[in-house]
Amino acid sequence: MSHDFDYDYFVIGGGSGGVRSSRIAAAHGAKVGIAEGKHWGGTCVNVGCVPKKFFTYAADYRPSFDDAEGYGWRAENISFDWQKLINNKNTEIKRLNAIYDDLLGNAGVTRYEGYAAFKNAHTVIVNGEEITANKFLIAVGGTPRSPFYEGAEYTHNSDDMFALPTLPKRIVIEGGGYIAVEFAHIFHGLGCDVTITYRKAPLIKSFDTDIAQFLTSEMEKQGITLKLKTNIEKIEKNESLSVTLDNGDVIDCDVVLSAIGRIPHTNNLGLENITLDQTSNEQIKINDDYQTSMPHIYAVGDVSNKINLTPVAIAEGHILADRLFGTSEERQANFDNIPTAVFSNPQIGTVGLSEEQARDKGYDAKTYQSTFKPMRHALSGRDEKTMMKLVIDIKTDKVIGAHMCGADAAEMMQGIGIALQCGATKADFNRTIGIHPTSAEEFVTMK
Ligand code: NDP
């Protein structure tokens, strides 16, 4: 290790990727510093996965109250307290922030609370202090993309949703991706009038088309208003907000959430003082060793041009620390079959290839599909269905894609993901005995 620098490894960004990488590097004996400008734990813990899941749980209660009546319950005088949800969520997140801070401290990582900016290739400035390091990791994540149209200043982004002072009565959500459909479920579940505007159709277009169309129609059935193949033209502020679409429709609402993707959070990082190759979307280009175009500067997570998911950033940060400072075998991860979920209603769980991707990749693919009313709704009376789909490579009989839109899809797909890692065939699925009565058993009985 070099003794000419303050640190062997300096990590910029205390989110999922940065925290894991700095802890592991320190455990391997490196002298490690880390800078975080806002909150330990980054997007996932503070304004992403974690609070989103709390809000999702809150939203899930409402249909459950209705469902329970079919089972003999009578749920009367139900009320919802937005401020209580926000306060309880904040308390839990403060606890998690402290845990992250402790984990770093216990690992012997020196923490800096402030934004770091490169002064030159081996120096960053944090809160006016110059810090040098032999190697750097950029793990600064992403930030919501801002829209550009008249009145764009009246929009909120997903970060803002976790601290809204009051629950809106009417909300317009712009976008058709993960964040748009998840917040549509949250606000619909909490009793708001929800409209989604999306420039294409169906929603969540990047998923298997059958699953995307199924979710789109289930959401519409619940009473979420969909304005597909439309763009927002302008927003005007009177007593409320008036959103004008390019098809001439005008929607009055209290809040507009713009969820049109995220961009790397690279501003104020001093990138003008070093030379890193970036994509046209400002993502930092990295090679298979997480190395940027400057070999001693690395990047992982949402700031890079790889997959943008928390568990991916954690795995990348861990592998990188093992490679740079470890002596034994590095952490293994397969980034090919990454199970993922969308916490919409119904949920989506997916792993492997969609039918379209399989055909694009040249597979001779066969699909199995099942749409059914889950047993729970036999008595609840709720008109909600579940869809499952398997994509099979005819040549090998291997299951190369598994997709579900229905209750508990996220929980189910982790196990199916292991099966795909092991190269399970449709015959393997068929000879697995189902768990009865569950929705999951449908995955092993599809004919
Ligand atoms: P997504 O990339 O999922 O979706 C962005 C949406 O915005 C798309 O529908 C896109 O349309 C639309 N869009 C993009 N640019 C414009 C524009 N200029 N005008 C109008 N619409 C536009 O991004 P999200 O913001 O929903 O989420 C960001 C990332 O966060 C995700 O990619 C995911 O990696 C991560 N995430 C993961 C979650 C999970 O794992 N459950 C949950 C939430 C976020 P089009 O389809 O036409 O391109």
Q: What is the rounded average pLDDT for all residues in the chain?
A: 97
Please check whether residue 330 lies inside any domain of the structure.
Answer: no
Cβ-proximal residues to 255 (8 Å cutoff; 6+ apart), any chain: 156, 164, 168, 170, 171, 172, 241
pLDDT higher than threshold 60 for residue 2: no
pLDDT higher than threshold 90 for residue 435: yes
pLDDT of 111 reads 97
Among the listed residues 154, 133, 170, 350, the one whose alpha carbon sits nearest the alpha carbon of residue 258: 154
Bridging pattern class, strands 255-258 and 155-156: parallel
Cα 52 to middle of ligand 1, angstroms: 15
pLDDT higher than threshold 60 for residue 15: yes
Please check whether residue 335 lies inside any domain of the structure.
Answer: no
Please check whether residue 25 lies inside any domain of the structure.
Answer: yes
Please check whether residue 287 lies inside any domain of the structure.
Answer: yes
pLDDT of 327 reads 87
Reply yes or no on whether 436 is catalytic.
Answer: yes
**This prediction's pTM:** 0.97
The pLDDT of 85-99, averaged and rounded, is 97
Cβ-proximal residues to 98 (8 Å cutoff; 6+ apart), any chain: none
Atom of ligand 1 nearest to the CA of 200: 47
Q: Say if residue 418 is in the same domain as residue 315.
A: no
Please check whether residue 17 lies inside any domain of the structure.
Answer: yes
| Residue 19: count of CB within 10 angstroms of its CB | 28
Q: Say if residue 176 is in the same domain as residue 211.
A: yes
Active-site position among 28, 122, 185, 436: 436
- Model confidence at 308, in pLDDT bands (50, 70, 90)? very high
**Residue having the nearest C-alpha atom to atom 4 of ligand 1:** 177
Task: Name the DSSP letter for residue 269.
Answer: S
Task: Dump pLDDT digits (tens) for 412-427.
Answer: 999 999 999 999 999 9
What would the two tokens of residue 384 be? Answer: 């909600």
Residue 200, ligand 1, Cβ within 6 A: yes
Q: Measuring CA to CA, how many Å separate 82 from each of 57, 109, 161, 169, 278?
A: 13, 38, 12, 12, 41
Number of domains into which the chain is organized: 3
Among the listed residues 114, 145, 120, 129, the one whose alpha carbon sits nearest the alpha carbon of residue 12: 114
Residue 282 sits in a domain whose CATH number is 3.50.50.60
Q: Say if residue 11 is in the same domain as residue 113.
A: yes
Q: Say if residue 216 is in the same domain as residue 272.
A: no
Residue 98: which domain range?
7-143+263-325
Q: Which of 199, 230, 304 has most ligand 1 atoms within 8 Å of its beta carbon, as the pocket-test mutant?
A: 199
How would DSSP label each residue in 374-407?
-THHHHH-----EEEEEEEETTT-BEEEEEEEST
- Model confidence at 385, in pLDDT bands (50, 70, 90)? very high
pLDDT of 3 reads 59
